[in-house]
Every structure is written in C-alpha cells, then in structure tokens.
Amino acid sequence: MDRFEAMSVVLAVAEAGSLSEAARRQRTPLATVSRKLSDLEAHLRTKLFNRSSRALVLTDTGRSFVAASKRILADLAEAERTAAGEYSIPRGELVLSAPVALGRILLLPIVGGFLKSFPEVDVQLGFADRAVNLVEEHVDLALRIGNLADSSLIAVRVGEIQRVTCASPDYLKARGTPRTPQDLQGHACISYAPLISPKTWTFREEGEEVTVPVQSRLMVSNLDSACEAARDGMGITTAFSYSIASCVKAGTLVRLLDGYQPSPIPVSLVYSSNRFMPSKLRSFLDFATPLLKEELASMAVGAPRKKTKA
C-alpha cells in the first residue's frame, strides 16, 4: 500500500463528502477510490468514515487521521520544494486569489509586472467575491477586503478602501446634487445588494450611523454594472473607491456626500503561517506590497492613479 497515496485519497473524500465526488476531483475511477479507502481502513483496523445514504462523515479516529495526514503531506511537499530549490530561487507556480473587481483593477497589472521580473514563476490568479480557504483550496496568497477574523493567517495590511456615493455630471445637472444623505429620498438610486440595501442606505453623521430610505429604480448583480449605469446617467449609486477611481479622473462620475461615508475598510494580503516561506511567495510580497500601498493611497484621497510599475 502506498500510504502517501492513501492519505491523499482520505483527504479528498473528507473534503468532497462522498466517494463519487472525490473520484471526480482526483480523476480516478470510483471503484479505485473505494478500494483504496477500504484497504486503508483494513490496514488500520478502524473505520475512518461513517457511511450513510447521503454522505460520508468522519469518525473521531478519522478526524485525527485527516489532521495528521495534512501535516505529513504538507511536510512532504515542503521537502520536495526545498530539494527542487523553490525556497532559495523564485520558481514554480504561485496561486493567488482576489475579489473580482479589486483583483482586475488593482492586482492584475501588478501580476503582469511581477511575471516580467521573475520569469521562472508562473501565476494562477483566481477572482472570487468570497473568502477562499487558503489551505483547502491550495492558495498561496489572497487579497482580502475587511477585518480578518482568522488568526491562523498572517496579514500584511496594504491600505484601505472607502465606500463612495457617485453619479454622472449629466444626472446631477438634470436632477440636482444631494448635499446630505436625506436629500437622496428625491433621487433615482442604483443598488448592488451585496454592498448596500436597495431600500435603505447608511451613512455617518456627527459620529452616528444614519439610515435613510431610498428608491432603487435599478438593482444590479455586480458592482461594475452599478457603476456603468451611474455613468450612463440612470441614477446615483454606491461603490468602492477603487471601482470608480478612473471614472472620477475622467470626469464621467462625481463623488457625493464624502463627509458622510462610513469609516474606511482595510485591505490586506494574507497567507498561511508555515515554517518555510517559498522564495516565490516572499518575492511576490516584496514586489506587490509597496505597489498596492501606493495605488490604494492614491485612491483614498481621490488622486489620479499612477501607471503600475513593470
């Protein structure tokens, strides 16, 4: 029995919750996955999973075995990377994750410069508007918005973003410019539900949270669409500072109610705490951190964005 392979099978089944899904993810016949799991349980003389009609659930012994297997396989992977020189020379694949809009606008140009500077490193950049699990999804580094609750991760703060309210000059010329949050009640609004409610918007006034009713004439499913609709004069919307920075610079959107916005939201680079840091990851942190800080600082004060360094 190949014990390392058996451990990988158990981890795949534990993460997938079923033999069929584990087989699909590993691109292995279902019968092979089932046989390897049965052989391992026979070798250990214990059950690792309780089987039901819907899913496989780890036993207490199974949970302990999975935790130990993760450590052993991680140590093995580190030993292989060390032998291959990954910890001394920047090389190999670097897996990154970022929110969709922030990653596209801010991180993607920086990755382009990094690839030019480090020709032996390949980057896999995934965009997702959720907090990916770095360990389970094999992600080396993630760009995160908001306060971080997971203390097992190491965070490098690179700046902050602001929520902003904005509209096009043509809309404001036709409908007037709101001076206070209460003035929004007479305007057509555009809402992106994950960011703010379509019925009430919140602001801060003299240190207190203020909620005002709004009429959302348009509700959209992503931030880019909200900004585009506002740019086309359909109404007033809320967005993040980075998503409208280029439009503000071009004069196609105007920031409103800046004195009433909530406190800025932190932005960080996060990675798992390991005994060894691959050179590819250290190199990316050293390369990207000052550029991200510079870009986010320029957006926070509404200054024009500078061209990303290559």
pLDDT in tens, 67-83: 888 888 877 877 776 66
Predicted TM-score of the model (pTM): 0.64
| Residue recorded with tokens 């000052």 | 290
Q: Are residues 246 and 183 in the same domain?
A: yes
Question: Comparing C-alpha atoms, which of 26, 302, 267 is closest to residue 148?
Answer: 267
Residue at 276 is within a domain: yes
pLDDT exceeds cutoff 60 at 307 = no
Q: What are the tens digits of pLDDT across the range 14-32? A: 888 888 888 888 888 888 8
pLDDT value of residue 87: 59
How do residues 155-197 score in pLDDT, each as one tens digit? 999 999 999 999 999 999 999 999 999 999 989 999 988 778 8
Question: What average pLDDT does range 295-299 have in this prediction?
Answer: 85
Q: What is the CATH number of the domain that holds 57?
A: 1.10.10.10
Domain shared by 284 and 236, yes or no: no
- In this prediction, residue 276 carries a pLDDT of 66
What are the Cα distances from residue 54, in Å, to 19, 60, 142, 171, 219?
Answer: 11, 19, 33, 55, 38
Instruction: For residues 248 and 276, state if they share a domain.
Output: no
Exposure b/e, 218-241, CB count within 10 A at least 16 = b: bebeebbebbebbbebbbbbbbbb
Domain count, the chain: 3
Residues 138 and 279 in one domain: yes
* Coil, strand or helix at 309: coil
Is residue 96 domain-shared with residue 66, that is, in the same domain?
Answer: no
Based on the domain organization, do 245 and 169 belong to the same domain? Answer: yes
Pair 170, 215 in one domain: yes
Instruction: Report how far residue 40's alpha carbon sits from residue 38's, in angstroms, rounded to the nearest whole number.
Output: 5
- 243 shares a domain with 174: yes
In the structure, what pLDDT confidence band is assigned to residue 150 with cuts at 50, 70 and 90?
low
Domain CATH code at residue 241:
3.40.190.10
Structural domain for 50, as ranges? 3-83
DSSP 8-state secondary structure symbol assigned to residue 189 = E
pLDDT at 310 over 50: no
